[in-house]
Amino acid sequence: MEKAMLEVRSLTKRFGGLVAVDHVDMQVHPGEVVGLLGDNGAGKSTLIKMVSGVYRPDEGRIFFQGKEVKMGSPMDALELGIETLYQDLALAENLDAYSNIFLGREKTKPFLGFIQVLDHDTMRAESIKVLKRLEIEIPSLHNQIQNLSGGQRQAVAIGRSIYWNAKLLIMDEPTAALGVHEQRKVLDLVRLLRSQNIPVIVISHQLYDIFSVTDRLVIMRRGKKVAERITKDTTPEEVVGIITGSEEVERDRPPE
């Protein structure tokens, strides 16, 4: 089997007495889409936040491209090529699409020989390229984000993530708050990334989405990884059974 892009071993995170993530092992291979499932409070987001540098693990190790990594901030993860797409997208609503794609990493050119000014033409051209690669159409790159639809925003956010040669993309509830048509578009994007050999971790409550797009499922309950399935060898019924377990207590726990 190909070398894992991401491997976490025995990853653990505690908040006071609560063990949010309890010795979880997980691997993600190039060109693979992994669904991360579990009820609210199962520990999915906490696990992801350790991988994207937001939280530091209390125990366990993270390997990226075969090398052990220690991340102190989200910037560390970004520099490694681990891009995270948050549910709220984290776009600057008042800026246009290409400014968002390049936010914080703007292209500049010299002006009068010594001042670096924004290179709008390059950023626009590069944005068109990356959006084309994603097969997305945005009516005008000059539109402010606040004037774009949910799916277009999602596209800009994904464009931003992959422009910087993301080696792993983590998507937290990518289809929540989207219309049906746009949900399908986002799922197409995930498949497209897979075809370009970029691995994706998808967190979602939408079992339909998960089953239509993932290769493998990792299911968590109460901080522990309770099951791992090849998507085509399982059924939504079985997965729901694993997520909820025999007891129905999970649903009442506060969200993490």
Mark 53-64 as b/e (b = at least 16 C-beta within 10 Å).
bbbebeebebbb
**Mutual angle of helices 150-163 and 180-195, in 10-degree steps:** 20
- Residue 16 in tokens: 């006071």
- Residues 20-79 binding other proteins (CB under 8 A) are 74-75, 78
Q: Which one of residues 56, 61, 87, 103 is an interface residue with other proteins (CB under 8 A)?
A: 103
To other proteins, the closest distance from the beta carbon of 208 in angstroms equals: 21
Closer residue to other proteins (CB): 101 or 219: 101
User: SS3 breakdown of the chain: % helix, strand, coil, rounded to 5?
Assistant: 35, 30, 40
How many residues bind other proteins (CB under 8 A)? The answer is 31
To other proteins, the closest distance from the beta carbon of 93 in angstroms equals: 5
- Range in contact with other proteins (rule: CB under 8 A) among 14-22, 26-34, 83-91, 227-235: 83-91
Task: Return d(Cα 100, Cα 108) in angstroms, integer.
Answer: 15
Q: Which residues contact 125 (CB under 8 A, 6 or more apart)?
A: none
Are 53 and 72 in contact, with CB atoms under 8 Å apart? yes
Q: Which one of residues 10, 59, 68, 116 is an interface residue with other proteins (CB under 8 A)?
A: 116
Q: Which one of residues 105, 129, 191, 253 is an interface residue with other proteins (CB under 8 A)?
A: 105
248-to-18, 159, 182 alpha-carbon distances in Å: 19, 40, 33
Q: Which one of residues 32, 39, 96, 173 is an interface residue with other proteins (CB under 8 A)?
A: 96
Interaction between residue 235 and other proteins (CB under 8 A):
no
Interaction between residue 148 and other proteins (CB under 8 A):
yes
- Residue 139 in tokens: 């009516």
Interaction between residue 87 and other proteins (CB under 8 A):
no
- Which residues contact other proteins (rule: CB under 8 A)? 74-75, 78, 86, 88, 90-96, 99-100, 103-106, 108, 111, 115-118, 142, 144, 146-150
